[in-house]
Structure 1
Amino acid sequence: MLIHPWDAPGDDTWQRWLTTHDFGQLAVNGPPGEPPFVQPLHFAYDAGRREAVTHLARPNPLWPAVEANPQVLLSVVDDYAYVPGPWQAEPGTPPEHGVPTSLYAAVQLRCRAHVVDDPSEKAALLNRQTGHFQPEGGSAPAAAGEAPYGRLLSGIRGLRLEVTDVRAKFKYAGKRSSAVRDRIATGLADRNGARDPQARAHVLGREPA
C-alpha cells in the first residue's frame, strides 16, 4: 500500500478509528503455489496490549495455514467514497479536466498469530470480544465447563494477533487546496451516499460520526 506523507495519520488517529471499525479481513499465506487465504471477521483491537483478538470455527481451512506460517495481515478498509473528476478541478481549471479519485481509510496490521486452544483461555478471549461489542452487557460470560457456553468452546479456536507493524492511510484530499477540499465536502454532503458523511468528516478534519 502506497502511503504519501499527506495521507499518513498519527497513531492516535488510526487507533481511535479501529475502536469503531472492527470488521476486517485476515490474510494468511496459502500453501506453495496457492493464493493467500482471506477470512472476513470481527475483531477487538487492544491498543494497550498492542493486539487484536478474534475466533473462528474449528473446521475453518485457515488453521493449517496459520500454523504453517503465523505471520498474517489484518486489513480494515472503510469510510470510502468515489470523488467525480469535476469536484477535484483546481480553481481556474475547466471542471472536465479534474481527475476522479477514491477517498478511503485503510489500516493494515501485520501480526504474529497465536492460536488459543485452552478452554479457559478461549473463554477469556471470548469475554474480551463480547465486552468490546456488547459493553452494555446482556449475555452470560463464557466459562470453561460451565453453561451456557462451556460445551461450545470445543467447536472454536481463538486467535491472539500480536501486532508487529502497522501501515495506515487516510486518503482524504490532503494535498488539495482548501477550495477543492471545500468543494469535495459540499459534494459529499449533497450526494449523501452510504459512506459520504464519514468521508466528509475526514475531509474536513473532524472525527467521523
Structure 2
Amino acid sequence: MLIHPWDAPQDDSEWQRWLVGRDFGQLAVNGPPGEPPYVQPLHFAYDKDRGEVVGHLARPNPLWAAIAANPEVLLSVVDDYVFVPGPWQAPPDGPSENGVPTSFYAAVQLRCTARVVDDPAEKAELLNRQTHHFQPEGGSARATVGEAPYGRMLPGIRGLRLEVTGVRAKFKYAGRKPEEIQDRIADGLATRNGPRDRVAREHLLRRREV
C-alpha cells in the first residue's frame, strides 16, 4: 500500500481510534509454493492494550496449514470509502471536465505473528472475549469446556491470536489539495449524501484542522 506523507496518520492514536470501531477485515496468509496468498474474510476483536487481534475459524479451513508453514500474516481493514467525481477535484483555473476522479478511503494493515489456539479452555476464553466485543449487552451463554450449549462445538473450531508486530495506515482524503478544492469536495459529499459520504466528509474536515 502506497502511503504519501499527506495521507499518513497524524499519530498512532488516529488509526487506533479508527480501528477500535471496526471488527471485520481480510486475513492474508502466504499460500504454498507456486500458489497465490490465501485471503480469508474475518470477524475479529482488536485489543489495543494487549497489542493483539483475536478470532477463530473452522477446523477444516485451509489457512491452518499455511499458517503452520509461515505464521507471519497480514490483517487488512478498509472502510469509509467513497468515489470522488473528477469535476469536484478540478483545478480552480481550468474546466471542470478536466478534473481527475479518485477514491477516498481509510485503511489499516496489521502485520502479525499468528498463534493457533487449540487448548479447549483457552479457546473458550477467546470466544468469550469475542462474544463480549460483539454483544456487550449480553444475551448469549458463555462458552465453557464440556458444558452446553457451546462446549461440544469447541473441537470444530481453532482459535487465532494475532500479535501485532507492525502497522501501516492510510487516510486518503484530499490531504494535498488546496482548501478551495477541499471545500468543493466537502460540499459535493454533503449534497450527494450517499453511503459513507458523511463519514468521508468528516475525515476530510477533521484532518485539515490539525
Q: TM-score range by the shorter chain?
A: over 0.9
- Asked whether 1:89 is paired with 2:84, we answer no
Which 5+ residue runs of structure 2 have no aligned equivalent? none
In the TM superposition, what is the alpha-carbon distance from 1:90 to its structure 2 partner?
2.6
CA distance in 1, matches of 2:179, 2:27: 37
- Asked whether 1:126 is paired with 2:127, we answer yes
CA distance in 1, matches of 2:79, 2:132: 23
Give 1:1-209 correspondences, 5 Å limit: 1-9=1-9, 10-205=11-206
> 4+ residue runs of structure 1 moved beyond 4 angstroms?
none
TM-score by length of 1: 0.96
In the TM superposition, what is the alpha-carbon distance from 1:67 to its structure 2 partner?
0.7
Share of identical aligned residues, percent?
Answer: 76
Partner SS state of residue 206, structure 2: coil
TM-score by length of 2: 0.96
Worse-matched range after superposition: 11-20 or 157-166: 11-20
Worse-matched range after superposition: 179-188 or 106-115: 179-188
In the TM superposition, what is the alpha-carbon distance from 1:93 to its structure 2 partner?
2.3
Worse-matched range after superposition: 176-185 or 72-81: 176-185
CA distance in 1, matches of 2:109, 2:68: 21
CA distance in 2, matches of 1:17, 1:134: 19
CA distance in 2, matches of 1:36, 1:74: 12
Aligned pair count reads 206
Which 5+ residue runs of structure 1 have no aligned equivalent? none
In the TM superposition, what is the alpha-carbon distance from 1:96 to its structure 2 partner?
1.5
Residue 90 of structure 1 contacts residue 177 of structure 1 at CA under 8 Å; is this kept in 2? no
Which letter maps to 1:5?
P
Worse-matched range after superposition: 14-23 or 28-37: 14-23
